[in-house]
């Protein structure tokens, strides 16, 4: 059996290992990743406690592979005369954008990447743009008391993009797929167990986004006051319509991008399977959201590539496991949902759970 790579919490020059319970969550659905590390041990003769305090910058590695760069949010000691335990909880650097808000600030005429950079810069967070949308927002405002992350995500939605953290603690503007991996997830082999989510409760066959943009000499009248965008999800067969009024000035193209994103986000949340495997790593490293992986699951008639959208690395008394949520990659792509995208897995029979 290969040696298990240790989890290393590094604070300054000090490296802390030997954690007995570990939970690390990496996701395309949240702007900041998070971790929780627990250690219980008998007092050493010196009575020394591990010198970790909240607010410190830190990194988390699995072996030599960096998985998260951020800060310790809280340290929870628990002890008696014979032993003590310590829990260290933290998040990616982007957690500051989730927690912090500011006064109203106008960011008119800037692109998504420029808005994200402007709001992240005071917190020392670098922005990496992998989408490259060059269209400036005619008008965009950070509202009084609005969290920075909320404003950035609001802008990203209008450009059909997502904003996530990478292992270096940078803010990354992406669509979804980051890399294709060679390891296959296969029921009866490396898949230990599985659970699924197949819900149409929050899905619709038509999405309508309405908004408005401030008028000027060249942009006025109906085109400025009644922009609208629509998108459809052909997998939802019966008539179900939702209207969303955009809370940010948006033109028709913006509304269309937001409508497509809304349809895809609800598709991704309503169709997914969480596979549990007994290892944190595949042939190319640690499991990560954005990995495109081939799945063979005869129970769901799946034999195709799926996108990992959420990863939880867990360690406890039962050993290590990774919980990998997969969804159709088309549910994360910046294009309209097509009929062929929504026909389900290859070989699926009529009446199955469907994708």
DSSP per residue, 72-118: EEEEEEEE-SSEEEEEEEEEETTHHHHH-B-S-EE-TT--HHHHHHH
Using DSSP bridges, classify how beta strands 302-316 and 21-27 pair: parallel, antiparallel or unpaired. antiparallel
Query: What class has domain 206-268?
Result: alpha beta
Residue 162: CA count within 13 A, CB half-sphere = 26
- Which one is predicted more confidently, 99 or 269? 99
Asked if 62 contacts 167 with a C-beta cutoff of 8 angstroms, the reply is no
Domain ranges of the chain: 7-92, 97-174, 179-199+271-333, 206-268
Q: Which residues lie below 8 Å from residue 47, measured CB to CB, with a gap of 6+?
A: none
Confidence bin at 73 (pLDDT 50/70/90):
very high
Percent of the chain with pLDDT over 70: 86
Q: Give me the residue label for tokens 């310790």.
A: 72
Fold matches, 7-92 and 179-199+271-333: yes
Q: Which CATH number fits domain 97-174: 3.30.9.10, 3.40.30.10, 3.55.50.10, 1.10.760.10?
A: 3.55.50.10
What's the token pair of residue 314?
A: 């867990």
Mean of pLDDT values over 127-138: 91
pLDDT computed for residue 1 by the predictor? 43
For residue 156, CA distances in Å to 171, 213, 245, 295 come to 12, 17, 16, 30
Q: Comparing C-alpha atoms, which of 198, 207, 272, 209 is closest to residue 239? A: 207
User: Is the predicted pLDDT of residue 95 greater than 80, yes or no?
Assistant: yes
pLDDT computed for residue 160 by the predictor? 82
Confidence bin at 223 (pLDDT 50/70/90):
low
pLDDT computed for residue 79 by the predictor? 85
Using DSSP bridges, classify how beta strands 105-106 and 141-142 pair: parallel, antiparallel or unpaired. antiparallel
Q: Give me the CATH topology for the region 179-199+271-333.
A: Phage tail proteins - horseshoe like beta roll fold (2.30.300)
Q: What is the mean pLDDT of the chain?
A: 87
Whole-model pTM?
0.86
Using DSSP bridges, classify how beta strands 179-186 and 291-297 pair: parallel, antiparallel or unpaired. parallel
Q: Give me the CATH topology for the region 7-92.
A: Phage tail proteins - horseshoe like beta roll fold (2.30.300)
Q: Which of 131-135, 239-243, 284-288, 323-327 has the lowest mean pLDDT?
A: 131-135
Mean of pLDDT values over 222-236: 79
User: Is the predicted pLDDT of residue 270 greater than 80, yes or no?
Assistant: yes
pLDDT computed for residue 130 by the predictor? 93
pLDDT per residue over 143-192, tens digit each?
999 999 999 999 998 888 889 999 999 999 998 777 899 999 999 999 99
Q: What are phi and psi of 229, to 5 degrees?
A: -135, 150
Give the separation between CA 126 and CA 171, rounded to whole angstroms: 6
């Amino acid at each position: 059996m290969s040696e298990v790579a240790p989890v290393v919490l590094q604070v300054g020059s000090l490296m802390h290992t030997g954690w007995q319970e570990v939970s690390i969550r990496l996701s395309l659905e949240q702007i900041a990743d998070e971790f929780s590390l627990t250690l219980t041990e008998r007092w050493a003769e010196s009575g020394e406690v591990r010198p970790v305090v909240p607010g410190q910058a830190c990194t988390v590695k699995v072996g030599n592979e960096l998985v998260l760069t951020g800060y310790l949010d809280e340290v929870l000691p628990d002890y008696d005369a014979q032993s003590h335990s310590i829990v260290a909880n933290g998040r990616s650097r982007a957690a500051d954008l989730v927690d912090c808000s500011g006064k109203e600030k106008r960011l008119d005429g800037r692109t998504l990447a420029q808005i994200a950079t402007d709001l992240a810069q005071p917190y020392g967070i670098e922005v990496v743009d992998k989408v490259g949308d060059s269209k400036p927002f005619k008008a965009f405002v950070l509202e009084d008391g609005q969290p920075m992350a909320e404003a950035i995500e609001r802008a990203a939605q209008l450009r059909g993009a997502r904003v996530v953290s990478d292992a270096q603690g940078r803010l990354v503007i992406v669509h979804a797929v980051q890399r294709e991996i060679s390891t296959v997830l296969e029921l009866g082999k490396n898949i230990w167990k599985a659970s699924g989510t197949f819900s149409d409760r929050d899905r619709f066959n038509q999405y309508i986004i309405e908004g408005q943009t401030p008028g000027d000499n060249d942009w006025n009248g109906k085109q400025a006051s009644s922009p609208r965008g629509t998108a459809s999800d052909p997998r939802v067969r019966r008539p179900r319509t939702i209207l969303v009024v955009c809370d940010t000035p948006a033109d028709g193209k913006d509304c269309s991008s937001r409508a497509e994103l809304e349809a895809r986000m609800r598709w991704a949340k309503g169709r997914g399977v969480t596979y549990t495997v007994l290892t944190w790593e595949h042939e190319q490293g640690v499991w990560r959201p954005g990995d495109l992986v081939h799945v063979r699951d005869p129970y769901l008639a799946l034999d195709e590539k799926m996108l990992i959208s959420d990863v939880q690395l867990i360690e406890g008394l039962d050993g290590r496991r990774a919980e990998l949520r997969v969804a159709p990659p088309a549910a994360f792509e910046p294009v309209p949902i097509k009929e062929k995208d929504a026909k389900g897995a290859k070989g699926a029979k009529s009446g199955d759970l469907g994708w």
